[in-house]
Structure 1
Amino acid sequence: MKFSDIGILIDKKNYAESSVILHFYTNSLGRQHFIFKGAKKKNKPLFPLGIYELTYAKRPESDLGIIQEISRVSGLNEIYVHPQKSLLAFFIAEILKSSLKQSHQDNSMFQFLKEEIIALEVSQNLYSFPLQFLAKFIVLSGYMPQIAKESGNFFDLQTGALVPLSSSRTLQLSSSQLSQLAFLFNGGVDDFLEDKLTVRQNLELLIDYCVVHVPGFQVKATREIIQDILYT
């Protein structure tokens, strides 16, 4: 049968001599896998986080669709010519391909991702972008930590809560970290995102938190590069 959909490209792997396997997060069916036969000969640009209109065929018994037509819905040229934005695109794509496994419609997640990709295209404040993206992704995925400053200044990675006493599984947070996290998860004044050191510390914290709580989450390929390029 023939189908059409809009999808966000989150992974690409070579297949045979001229074809590729593409992983999309789609508007209608969540994560889907496709083979794009002869892709290398067709000279079609396939960028991470690119938003594409797809026409494909798929048998009911198969998990793999066959792409017949593919075209970019949005130009997003700035992301792919700006080195730091390209790096952030790979960082976000790595998050998505490791943690978004559901093959069913999630309109809230799709719209969130689409809006964040468009925001990255025009963003001028890149050092805080990955932290803000990750905080929003955590909330939308249903893994929001309990950030109440009056509860203490030690963060328990296992429970995702602030506690008053130190233990083997807690991390002590500075007052600036606490204020920034409170803004990210509870709302408030965004002045707390101006401190690059604190942004870097909290990005590391939320990555570690996601590794514990979000099934499959990993950013092994881009974590250190993000830290070296954006925060040095």
Structure 2
Amino acid sequence: MIILNTQGIVLRAVRYEENDVILTLFTRKLGKVAALAKGAKRNKSPLLSSSQLFSYSNYTLKKQGSMYKVNQSDIIKSFYDISYDIESFSYATYIIKLVDGSTFENQTNNRLFILLAQTLYLYTQKDVDKEFVTRAFELKFLDYIGFKPTINRCCNCGSGNLKNSKFNVYEGGVVCDLCSEKTENNLSFDITTLKLMEYILSNDILQCSKAKVSKYITYELDKILKKYLHVHVDNVNLKSLNLLQDIQKNKGVDKGE
């Protein structure tokens, strides 16, 4: 019998039978695992709060066949407040699905685990630009799963002269002025966007969240990263972000903007 203690974040929670829940946990020590939380749907269950989506807890897991059983859990942070804010909920749902869809079972990624926990924390904070935080998450996420774009030199010839350079998602990053003449689907960008990407990759997301970034640069970063994610990451799900955009557009109409 294998019993293990580990921190974990709930990526998915699916009801099983009447009161049980099958959790998909992203853990520090085991990576992504499935775990059965028996009786977690009962109102007085000690597993109730740690079986909710986004919950960050210490779990005691017992190996049972191909999955685990949650023997005990102690909540570290529920991130329950995220559910009360449509912007935070949409972004949190999006990044949770990114992690779930891009990680393999029993493959640890401690840097990604910390990034996810810190980003969920930022979504609960006021006076934080959640859109920019999400862009920063996407870029660091790409780095931590092995698809970091090349931004400090031409990804074709290695030149450090990036004056008039372009971004090419298919080539894997920045292409210099000369190489861009030989490639298709190049994206123009402001040099400030490139400097911002360098800053994000060099600092943790808590530090990045303090940066004051213009909406234009955030939009440009979004345009590049969405295309990059679609090319390099399978099954990118944008439904929660599309819903948020529709709500924001309707708000603009209501205000007469």
Which TM-score tier does this pair reach, normalised by the shorter chain?
0.7 to 0.9
- Offset of 1:204 from its aligned partner? 3.5
Match of 1:101 among 99, 104, 119: 104
Structure-2 change in CA distance of 1:227 and 1:23 (3 Å): same
Describe the SS at the equivalent of 1:122. Answer: coil
Amino acid at match of 2:54: L
Matched, 1:145 2:149: yes
- Offset of 1:134 from its aligned partner? 0.9
RMSD: 2.9
- Offset of 1:52 from its aligned partner? 1.4
Matched, 1:57 2:58: no
- Could you list the per-position Cα deviations for residues 177-198 of structure 1 after superposition, in whole angstroms to 9, with x for gaps in the alignment? x42233123569x898632243
Q: Which residue of 2 aligns with 1:133?
A: 137
Higher RCO (C-alpha under 8 Å, 6+ residues apart): 1
Q: Which residue of 1 aligns with 2:225?
A: 206
How many residue pairs match? The answer is 226
Q: Which residue of 1 aligns with 2:157?
A: none
Q: Which residue of 2 aligns with 1:73?
A: 76
- Offset of 1:11 from its aligned partner? 1.4
Q: Which residue of 1 aligns with 2:240?
A: 222
| Equivalent pair of 1:30/1:106 in contact (CA under 8 Å) | yes
Alignment of 1:177-192 (within 5 A): 178-186=191-199
Q: Which residue of 2 aligns with 1:160?
A: 172
**Which residues of structure 2 form unaligned runs of 5+?**
153-160, 203-207, 253-257
The 1-side partners of 2:211 and 2:29 are apart by 37
Q: Which residue of 1 aligns with 2:8?
A: 7
- Could you list the per-position Cα deviations for residues 1-49 of structure 1 after superposition, in whole angstroms to 9, with x for gaps in the alignment? 3332210111122323332221111011111111222322246234332
- Offset of 1:101 from its aligned partner? 1.5
- Could you list the per-position Cα deviations for residues 189-224 of structure 1 after superposition, in whole angstroms to 9, with x for gaps in the alignment? x8986322431342242122122223x351233231
Describe the SS at the equivalent of 1:40. Answer: coil
Q: Which residue of 1 aligns with 2:40?
A: 39
| Equivalent pair of 1:35/1:65 in contact (CA under 8 Å) | yes
Matched, 1:196 2:196: no
Structure-2 change in CA distance of 1:117 and 1:220 (3 Å): closer
Indicate the larger mover: 165-174 or 6-15.
165-174
The 1-side partners of 2:163 and 2:173 are apart by 8
| Equivalent pair of 2:151/2:194 in contact (CA under 8 Å) | yes
Amino acid at match of 1:198: I
Using the size of structure 1 for normalisation, the TM-score is 0.81
Using the size of structure 2 for normalisation, the TM-score is 0.74
Describe the SS at the equivalent of 1:150. Answer: coil
Structure ID, larger Rg: 2
- Could you list the per-position Cα deviations for residues 101-154 of structure 1 after superposition, in whole angstroms to 9, with x for gaps in the alignment? 141333322223222222332252222111011111112222111224716443
Structure-2 change in CA distance of 1:92 and 1:19 (3 Å): same
| Equivalent pair of 1:166/1:172 in contact (CA under 8 Å) | no
Matched, 1:170 2:188: no
Structure-2 change in CA distance of 1:206 and 1:193 (3 Å): farther
Indicate the larger mover: 119-128 or 29-38.
119-128
**Which residues of structure 1 form unaligned runs of 5+?**
none
Structure-2 change in CA distance of 1:166 and 1:198 (3 Å): farther
